[in-house]
Amino acid sequence: MNAKLTITLAQMTQSVGDLQGNADAMIAVYQTKQDSDLIVFPELQLVGYPPEDLVLKPAVVERADLELRRLAKATAGKAPAMLVGSIFREDDKLYNGIALLEGGEIKAVRYKVELPNYGTFDEKRIFSSGPLPEPVEFRGCKIGLPICEDVWLPSVCNHLKAQGAQMLISVHGSPYEIEKDDHRLGQVATQRVRETGLPLIFLNRIGGQDEIVFDGASFVLGGDTSVMHQLPDWDEAIVDTHWIKDSSAKESDWRCAPGEIHKLDEHPADIYNAMIVGLRDYVNRNGFPGVILGLSGGIDSALSAAVAVDALGADRVWCVMMPSRFTSQDSLDHAEDCAKMLGTRLDTISIVPAVEGFDEMLADSFADRQVDSTEENIQSRIRGVTLMALSNKFGHMLLTTGNKSEMSVGYATIYGDMAGGYSVLKDAYKLTVFRLSEWRNRNKPSLGMGPDGPVMPDIVISKPPSAELREDQKDSDSLPDYEILDPLLHGLVEEELSVADLVERGFDRDTVIRIEKLLYTAEYKRRQAPPGVKLGSRNFGRDRRYPITNAFRTI
């Protein structure tokens, strides 16, 4: 006689700290899946991931225990069981764990062993490492429950195999990074399956949490590493997987019936959707009615506006053009065209009176000084004050528009164009901005609420970038061409290369020395910058945390 199991994978979003809301969402899923045997939810689904120091608050631990017991009661009778990720305190230690809820009770709890402590992750500050876990007995199947990082390293899965596990169910809070979905499936999960010979369920969450976005893209691998299910990226998905064990087969031979294989986003659609998710969830979960941003007629603000419209809808995006005496008619026209193509509100507020007022106010103090970048920065700060005034008055969050190339070298004005609450381009180099803009003009993202056609005039993409803070200004006056600057910065930031390493790659030595100096000296600005969507492996803020006062140089 064959044994059978129906295991439901609930690829869901979470809201950090909303324990009751997260529990209610799980119960809502549970009530629609009464024919299932087991419903699995992502890592720390009850409290939200990553919880950071929130879980050090005793009241959060107490509330988590109460809500977990409420979830357990929902499983009374012959209803399905649940696997729920939460926090657990035992012997005055705090653990990241997963609980099997069945028959109205908490039947078993297993703790995470491998605590990530690199880049985005900081779990060793918060949690204790659990003991190597034993499999959980569930309706004729011994299930191993490695949690997230426990699958990225071999020891836990090998231990579970040695203890008789017949399948692995691994819940995750695995953030999006460029090309990470291939790494999860093609290298990490496949390697664990090869080592153990066990089928593996890899369940990930979706949604944004401050700077981090989670893309889902959960999957099931058979014991031969074949992909049996591939869930979508970015969207919630509640999927039944059907398992059977032939009584004549070897003890561990549970097989998953083939299911739907969703095609995941290709590059750069994945980056664009990551920006949508990050901004959408940040704005909505923090209760903002919408966003406001300066629309200059340049590519950075045009792309930021497009992402905002795709994330929130045109009626929640408010654009403001703030011309000075250096603003060209082309820029005015390009901003107006962008707003029309996106369907957003566009107001024009001249900063000329304010600039004249500052010139008069500072005339005596600046009398013996030449005009320099100070006057340029005053213009930027006037624009920041103007936008923040509108934000304060009407409640819209100010969206900043600077890219990673600018933030790397400090080509941004602190308390000026850096002012704001969030940035979708913070981890996007300028060449990525060009690529995303070209892509969006030809494609509509799967999550997009914006127009089907182009979102900016082609001239906005092709014209030379300029801050327009002085006559005939171009970015190239102050910086190397982006075709040189961006690969150089990638070497300094993502790869941590030295000056000598980069010179060996063919970069000009003096240019590398100058850019490295700018990178280090701009740290104080970045420390005061708003959060923004993490896209790559070394974003500023969560991944790359350098001292502000830093005398080290690689020359």
| Active-site entry in 33, 67, 102, 112 | 112
Token code pair at residue 72: 């357990």
pLDDT tens digits, one per residue of 387-442: 999 999 999 999 999 999 999 999 999 999 999 999 999 999 999 999 999 999 99
Q: Does the annotation mark 43 as catalytic?
A: yes
| Active-site entry in 141, 148, 157, 338 | 148
Q: Does the annotation mark 148 as catalytic?
A: yes
Question: Which residue range forms the structural domain that includes residue 278?
Answer: 269-475
Q: Which of 434, 505, 513 is nearest to 480 (CA)?
A: 513
286 and 223 fall within a common domain: no
Residue 504 lies in a domain: no
| Active-site entry in 43, 114, 177, 376 | 43
Residue 533 lies in a domain: no
CATH of the domain at 222: 3.60.110.10
Q: Does the annotation mark 112 as catalytic?
A: yes
| Low-confidence stretches of the chain (pLDDT beneath 50) | 1
pLDDT of residue 195: 97
Residue 498 lies in a domain: no
326 and 421 fall within a common domain: yes
Strand ranges, E, within 305-374:
317-321, 345-348
pLDDT tens digits, one per residue of 490-519: 999 999 999 999 999 999 999 999 999 999
212 and 133 fall within a common domain: yes
236 and 301 fall within a common domain: no
406 and 459 fall within a common domain: yes
Token code pair at residue 127: 């949690």
- Parallel, antiparallel, or unpaired: how do β-strands 345-348 and 317-321 relate? parallel
Tell me 456's DSSP state: S
Residue 248 lies in a domain: yes
Residue 402 lies in a domain: yes
227 and 280 fall within a common domain: no
Q: Which of 475, 506, 536 is the last residue of a domain?
A: 475
Q: Which of 475, 500, 524 is the last residue of a domain?
A: 475
Residue 120 lies in a domain: yes
Helix axis angle, 269-285 to 299-312, nearest 10° = 60
Residue 502 lies in a domain: no
323 and 279 fall within a common domain: yes
Q: Which of 554, 531, 45, 42 is nearest to 286 (CA)?
A: 531
Task: Please classify residue 307 by burial: count the beta carbons closer than 10 Å to its beta carbon, then call 0-12 exposed, 13-18 middle and 19+ buried.
Answer: buried
Q: Which of 353, 361, 363 is nearest to 386 (CA)?
A: 353
pLDDT of residue 104: 96
Neighbours of 361 (CB within 10 A): 10
pLDDT of residue 1: 46
Answer yes or no: are the C-beta atoms of 179 and 140 closer than 8 Å.
no
CATH of the domain at 457: 3.40.50.620
pLDDT of residue 248: 64
pLDDT of residue 468: 65
Give the total number of structural domains in the chain. Answer: 2
Q: Which of 232, 256, 280 is the last residue of a domain?
A: 256
Sign of CA dihedral 244, 248, 253, 259: negative
pLDDT of residue 20: 97
SS3 95: strand
- The total number of residues shown for the chain amounts to 555
Burial annotation 419-434 (CB, 10 A radius, 16+ → b, else e): bbbbbbbbbbbbbbbb
286 and 407 fall within a common domain: yes
Residue 497 lies in a domain: no
Q: Which of 298, 294, 296, 293 is nearest to 461 (CA)?
A: 298
11 and 33 fall within a common domain: yes
pLDDT of residue 61: 97
